[in-house]
Structure 1
Amino acid sequence: MKIRVLIADDHTIVRSGLTMLINAQENMEVIGEAADGAEAVQKALQLKPDVVLMDLNMPPGQNGLIATGRLKEAAPEIEILILTMHDDSEYLFRVLKAGASGYILKNADDMDLLQAITTVYGGQAYLYPKATKSLIEDFLNRVSLGENIDQYQQLTTREQEVLTWIAKGYSNKEIGELLHLSVKTVEVHKAKIMDKLQLKTRPELVRYAFTKGLLDF
């Protein structure tokens, strides 16, 4: 039985190259492609791949981080492998929190990528060696500084989305339209976010989002 893979990346040439590489393997096949996070979720739910190879940085509002959280909520049985240029522990924390099973850099060797797909398909986590070292060092540094690393992790995936849009300056109405929520629901999410993060004002929330690297998308 072949490992069925869905590729989500906003660059056509990247998708083509990955498709050629994966289809050249006897035990793998690409069953679909997506150009952004929304399409990735839609096609994954439709095609039911074994593994989604998800680019992290796709168009704003529909990036791989948000798509990963939505897909894992809707279809937890689908494994997600994040493909990104960012060798950054903060990104790693966030993609693992969103439910990804692995993380590999775009400049990794072809064999590393194929091994990563096989690993997550088998139900195991795959972390690119350099990223693993960075994650451990960052975790130990946070602990030594006494940071409450569970604070952000207390937020649900939807609350993390709302937090990001609030920090970017969007109104409750605009956020509701973007996420297909009522204004009242957005207000409830915002109240829960402020409570969990122990923040009282919008400027405090924006500063918090900046320190977490949430504004770079």
Structure 2
Amino acid sequence: MIDILLVDDQKILLEGLKKVFEPVPDIAVCATCALAELAEEACLRYRPDLVLMDICMESRTSGIRICRRLKERFPKIRVVMMTGMSELAFVGWARDAGADSFIYKEAAGEAFLDCIRRTMAGEHVFPVIRGRDTFGAAEANLTERELEILQLICRSKSREEIAELLGISKRTVGFHITNMLEKTGHKSVVGLAVEAAEKGLTSAETQNECERDDTVFS
């Protein structure tokens, strides 16, 4: 039996997922949380095998931050991140936070069951989005921090402003930019920013919604 902890602030989704899992003999919902901050306490109390958690919730702490905490504190618990938003950067953020798998909320019930079972079997299930979550001719992957800096560049923020917003030095910002250019093969950050905009990875509104705590991605 796979015991699951559901973490999402949308009660309709929680109820919907519970109904999907109810008739399944090998999966059971041991508890639900409407606040990300309660996930750690719930893990201590219910000892789930897997946590299925939304990335962005109406709370002080994002799912990304809680995912990091859970993987550090409960390394044996599998974590599957989910979102109803289409911003592709979330996939990279989930990977960097240590999530075992990732699924979009609009997926069918069978897809959720398949993702959970495969994750518990040791697989890492992530969406395959060829050519859209990689950059440059080298099809390079960017880290969570690099994507964050790239988004701010696309919002016309200067290196000084980026450093201030992220709480890092201007030199560190420059280091990340240089690293991005070397990995992707772009000659200038302008070209990289254009590619990011074309791929829809620069939604400031979506990122702000996820960053209700301004230290989530620091």
Where on the TM-score scale, by shorter chain, does this alignment land: which range? 0.5 to 0.7
1:138: Cα distance to partner? 3.2
Identify if the C-alpha distance between structure 1 residues 211 and 46 changes in structure 2 by more than 3 Å, giving closer, same or farther: same
Cross-structure match for 1:65: 64
1:147: Cα distance to partner? 7.9
Determine the C-alpha separation between the residues in 2 that align with 1:57 and 1:15: 15
Determine the C-alpha separation between the residues in 1 that align with 2:137 and 2:2: 42
CA contact (8 A) 2:101 2:115 kept: yes
1:39: Cα distance to partner? 0.8
Would you say 1:215 and 2:211 are equivalent positions? no
Alignment of 1:76-115 (within 5 A): 76-115=75-114
Alignment of 1:146-161 (within 5 A): 149-150=142-143, 152=145
* Unmatched tracts of structure 1, length 5 or more: 156-163, 169-189, 200-209
CA contact (8 A) 2:14 2:32 kept: yes
1:167: Cα distance to partner? 3.2
Higher-helix-fraction structure? 1
Cross-structure match for 1:144: 137
1:11: Cα distance to partner? 1.5
Identify if the C-alpha distance between structure 1 residues 146 and 28 changes in structure 2 by more than 3 Å, giving closer, same or farther: closer
* Unmatched tracts of structure 2, length 5 or more: 149-161, 176-200, 211-218
Identify if the C-alpha distance between structure 1 residues 22 and 148 changes in structure 2 by more than 3 Å, giving closer, same or farther: closer
1:137: Cα distance to partner? 1.3
SS in 2 for 1:16: helix
SS in 1 for 2:32: strand
1:63: Cα distance to partner? 1.8
Would you say 1:132 and 2:128 are equivalent positions? yes
Cross-structure match for 2:120: 121
Alignment of 1:133-212 (within 5 A): 133=129, 136-140=130-134, 142-144=135-137, 149-150=142-143, 152=145, 167=165, 190=167, 196-198=172-174
1:31: Cα distance to partner? 0.5
Identity %: 22
TM-score (norm 2): 0.66
Identify if the C-alpha distance between structure 1 residues 196 and 119 changes in structure 2 by more than 3 Å, giving closer, same or farther: farther
SS in 2 for 1:91: helix
Cross-structure match for 1:183: none
Aligned letter for 1:149?
Answer: L
Cα offsets for 1:75-134 (capped at 9, x unmatched): 11111111211233211000111011111111111100110111111111112xxx312x
1:71: Cα distance to partner? 0.9
How large is the Cα RMSD of the aligned pairs? Answer: 3.1
SS in 2 for 1:137: coil
Cross-structure match for 1:179: none
1:196: Cα distance to partner? 4.0
Cα offsets for 1:12-38 (capped at 9, x unmatched): 221122112112100011101111211
SS in 2 for 1:132: coil
1:70: Cα distance to partner? 1.2
> Relative contact order (C-alpha < 8 Å, sep 6+): which is higher?
2
Aligned letter for 1:132?
Answer: V
Cross-structure match for 1:205: none
Identify if the C-alpha distance between structure 1 residues 122 and 10 changes in structure 2 by more than 3 Å, giving closer, same or farther: same
Determine the C-alpha separation between the residues in 2 that align with 1:56 and 1:71: 14
SS in 2 for 1:123: coil
